[in-house]
Amino acid sequence: MSLKIRKGVPLIDQHDKNFMYGGKFGGNFIPETLKKPIDDLTQLFSKLRKNKSFIKERDYYFRTYIGTPTPFIKLENLTDQLGGAQIYAKVVSEANGGAHKIYNATVHCLIAKKAGKKYIVGDTGAGYAGKMLSMAAKKFGLKCKIFMGAKDIKRQRPNVEAIKKNGAQIVPVTTGSQTLVDAVSECMRYWVSNCDRVHNCIGSTVGPNIFVKICAWSTAQISRELVNQVILEFGKIPKKLKLINCVGGGSSAAGFWNEFMETDAEFIGVEAGGPKNSKLHAAPLTNGSKIGILHGAAQYVIQDKEGQIGSTESISAGLDYPGISPLHCFLKDSKRAKYTSVSDEDALKAYKLVSKLENISPSLEPSHAFAEAIRLAPKLKSSEVIIVNSCGDSLKDKDIIKQRLGYYIR
Amino acid sequence: MKSSITLAFNKCKKEKRPALITYIVAGDNTKNVSLNILNKISKHADILELGFPHNTPIADGGQIQGSSHRALKNGIKLKDVFQIVKKFKKRNPSKPIILMGYFNLIYQSGENNFLKNCEKSGVDGLIIVDLPYPENKSFAKKCKKKSISFIQLLAPTTTKERMKKIINDSHDMIYYISMLSTTGGKLKVSPKKILENYNKIKSIKPKKNLVIGFGITNKTINALKLADGLVVGSLLCKTISNSIKMRQNPVTKLDKVVYNLKNKIL
Rounded Cα–Cα distance for residues B165 and B167 (Å): 6
CATH numbers and ranges of domains, chain B: 4-265 (3.20.20.70)
Same fold, A16-61+101-215 and A67-98+221-405: yes
B49 is catalytic: yes
DSSP string, A367-406: HHHHHHHHHHGGGS-TT-EEEEE--BBGGGGHHHHHHHHS
Asked whether the predicted pLDDT for residue A35 surpasses 80, the reply is: yes
Instruction: Report the DSSP pairing between strands A241-246 and A86-90.
Output: unpaired
- Cβ-defined contact of B180 to A305 (cutoff 8 Å): no
Strands A86-90 and A385-389: parallel
* Alpha carbon distance B168, B134 (integer Å): 12
Residue pair A96/A135 in contact by the 8 Å Cβ criterion: yes
pLDDT tens, residue by residue, A334-345: 999 999 999 999
**For chain A, what are the domain ranges?**
16-61+101-215, 67-98+221-405
Instruction: Identify the pLDDT of residue B193.
Output: 97
Distance CA(A39)–CA(A382), nearest Å, equals 50
Residue of chain B with shortest Cα separation from A187: B58
What are φ and ψ of residue B11, in 5° steps? -60, -45
Q: B56 CB contacts (<8 Å, ≥6 apart)?
A: A176, A181, A185, A294, A295, A308, A309, B102
Residue type (1 letter), B172: D
Rounded to an integer, the average pLDDT of A111-129 is: 96
User: Which positions in chain B touch A29 (Cβ < 8 Å)?
Assistant: 103, 130-132, 135
Tell me the pLDDT tens digit for each residue of A254-308: 999 999 999 999 999 999 999 999 999 999 999 999 999 999 999 999 999 999 9
B77 and A306: CB-CB below 8 Å? yes
Nearest chain B residue (CA) to A290: B108
Asked if residue A79 lies in contact with residue A376, where contact means CB atoms within 8 angstroms, the answer is no
CA B42 to chain centre: 13
Which pTM was predicted?
Answer: 0.97
- Among candidate residues B60, B80, B172, B228, the one labeled active-site is B60
At residue B117, does pLDDT exceed 70? yes
Minimal Cβ distance to B104: which of A27, A196, A307:
A307
What confidence category does residue B203 fall into, taking pLDDT thresholds of 50, 70 and 90?
very high
Q: Which residues contact A30 (CB under 8 A, 6 or more apart)?
A: A38, A208, A296, B58, B130, B132
Q: Does domain A67-98+221-405 have CATH number 3.40.50.1100?
A: yes
- Cβ pairs bridging A and B (under 8 Å): 111
Q: Is the dihedral of CA A299, A304, A306, A308 positive or negative?
A: negative
The one catalytic residue among B28, B46, B49, B228? B49
Q: Which of B77, B107, B158 sits opposite A36 (nearest CB)?
A: B158
Determine what percent of chain A falls in helix, strand and coil, rounding each to the nearest 5.
45, 20, 35
Residue A114 Cα, gap to closest chain B Cα (Å): 20
What are the chain A neighbours of B135 within 8 Å (beta carbons)? 18, 27-29
Question: Are residues A341 and A287 in contact, defined by beta-carbon separation less than 8 angstroms?
Answer: yes
Confirm if A231 and A260 have CB atoms less than 8 A apart: no
For this structure, is B60 an active site residue? yes
In DSSP notation, A233-250 reads HHSS--SSEEEEEE-SS-
Q: In what order do the strands lie in the sheet with B210-213?
A: B149-150, B125-128, B97-101, B47-51, B19-25, B229-232, B210-213, B174-177, B152-154
End-to-end CA distance of chain B: 28
Mean pLDDT, rounded, of chain A = 96
Spell out which residues of chain A touch residue B78, defining contact as CB-CB under 8 Å.
306
For the segment A202-252, what is each residue's pLDDT rounded down to a tens digit? 999 999 999 999 999 999 999 999 999 999 999 999 999 999 999 999 999
Which residues are CB-contacts of A199 (< 8 A; sequence separation ≥ 6)? A108, A111, A112, A115, A117, A119, A120, A121, A142
Angstrom distance (rounded) from CA A1 to CA B240: 49
Residues of chain A whose beta carbon is less than 8 angstroms from a beta carbon of chain B are 18, 27-37, 175-176, 181, 185, 188-189, 192-196, 290-296, 298, 303, 305-309
Return the bridge partners of B22, or none: B48, B232
Mean pLDDT for the stretch of residues A350-355: 98
Apex A244 CA angle, A230 and A177, nearest 5: 140
Percent of chain A clearing pLDDT 70 (strictly above): 100
Nearest by CB: B130 against A181, A296, A307? A296
- Measured between beta carbons, the chain B residues lying within 8 angstroms of A307 are 54, 104-105, 107-109
Q: What is the pLDDT of residues B75-112, one digit of tens each?
A: 999 999 999 999 999 999 999 999 999 999 999 999 99
Comparing alpha-carbon positions, the chain A residue that sits nearest to B101 is A31
Q: Radius of gyration of chain B from Cα atoms?
A: 17
* pLDDT over threshold 70, residue A1: no
Residue A189: pLDDT over 80: yes
Burial of A148 (0-12, 13-18, 19+ CB in 10 A): buried
CATH 3.90.1530.10 for domain A16-61+101-215, yes or no, is no
- Crossing angle between the packed helical segments A32-48 and A101-114, to the nearest 10 degrees: 100
